[in-house]
Amino acid sequence: MAYATLYVMLVAITVLGALPAAADAAQGPLESEAVKARVEKHRTAEVTLTVLDSDGKPLAGAAVTVRQQRHKFLFGCNAFEINTADTSEVQKAYQDRFAALLNYATLPFYWGGFEREEGKPGTARVRMMAEWCDSRGIQAKGHPLCWHEVPPKWLFGRPPEEVQRLQLARITREVTDFRDLIHRWDVVNEAVRMPTFDPDSNPVGGLCRKLGAVGLIKETFAAARAADPNATLLLNDYDTSENYAKLIQGCLAAGAAINVIGIQSHMHGGYWGARHAWEVCERFAKFGKPLHFTELTILSAEKHPKMDWKSTLPDWNTTPDGEKRQAEQAAEFYRTLFSHPAVQGITWWDFSDRHSWMGAPSGLVRKDMSPKPAYEALMKMIKGEWWTGEQKLTADSSGRVKFRGFLGDYEVRAADKGSGTFSVSAAGAAEAKANLMLAK
């Protein structure tokens, strides 16, 4: 967690400085009925499910129960506090509340903390986190493989050619070592700023200046792709201006293997509002790549007068009024993003106020792990409004049942016939089959 606190004071200054303090009045695509219609169009399907017995024969006339198990959409948070060796009530509450709400977790691969001593990576600690995610049905993402802000101390003073070799080798090692548990990676973080970040002294910044941002991105993504051809690779940045758009355009033109465009939205300096969020989505959706909001922060207190993006402020505490406002803003922000067809994932930052970046009251839960109103608001949406309720259905003569459901994974059961699973992955009309098997 310590390395999440090392984000620099430049993070989002140019982006947040001009943002509105409150949401703009909803207009056009942000009207509630338009949002609701897009959610139904892009996040649900009219499912025709054929239910079969263990021999593959249709269960004509069978009474079946269909239950959603998980969303296709990625609702996530960084999970830097996971520690399965900690048996405290606080840790148990952290884990249970995280798993109850979310299906996606970002895990820490900050190079300077992951490999404090050259050749001795902290693989075991992060693997413990990844295994916890796997045991709870939570998909994991590694963050980040290349970032100028947290290089290991032993990398300073090395010539650019050696830094390049070590950086690429580090990517190959991590992606290979975690290939069984992690299938998504923030490969390069904040590349818009990287070439000008102390290029004469910072080893990664200097390498980026030498290769150019596009050159560095192309090489690092190629290394990650070679290590895991099936991985989903993200380019991530806090700069949501045309500078980032131009960089993406240059990378795609050069053939960089970018699967997803990552967008940070830390709002310590003020709430974006729905209109600005929609405009950002539109700006980057034009590239035809899925969008992930990778680092989303909405505070449950006022901005701290001494906030400088690099200090930890222990007196920055959540307030009742701030919690109410945070819940309202979080609900609006999630509705806006969930309704945009290009967005495929949202990652909150941080889950708890305990050990949060800058000590900010940014969590969905408090330091004692009690849920804030924002947690409850998201629970009502993610596991309520946007969740397919239990369906009790009767199959026709061909063993088919029909229902409208949110995209994701499902279980179907029939009395005396057992259970089976199926997935609904595309909106619109969807066909699925499930073979029911009795438990052994």
Instruction: State the Cα–Cα distance between residues 347 and 293, nearest whole angstrom.
Output: 6
User: What is the reported pTM?
Assistant: 0.93
Instruction: State the Cα–Cα distance between residues 300 and 51, nearest whole angstrom.
Output: 47
Does 16 score more than 90 pLDDT? no
Sheet with 428-435, strands from edge to edge, namely 400-406, 44-52, 428-435
Q: Establish whether the linkage from the previous residue to 350 is cis, with ω within 30° of 0.
A: yes
Tens digits of per-residue pLDDT, 249-305? 999 999 999 999 999 999 999 999 999 999 999 999 999 999 999 999 999 999 999
Instruction: State the Cα–Cα distance between residues 5 and 350, nearest whole angstrom.
Output: 11
Mean pLDDT is lowest, of 139-143, 199-203, 210-214, 417-421, for: 199-203
Burial environment of residue 411 by CB neighbours within 10 A (0 to 12, 13 to 18, 19 or more): middle
Give the model's pLDDT for residue 1.
Answer: 41
Tens digits of per-residue pLDDT, 21-39? 333 344 578 999 999 999 9
**Does residue 386 contact residue 406 with C-beta atoms inside 8 Å?**
yes
Give the model's pLDDT for residue 199.
Answer: 82
Beta bridge partners of 68: 410
Structural domains of the chain, with CATH: 2-30+73-371 (3.20.20.80), 40-67+390-435 (2.60.40.10)
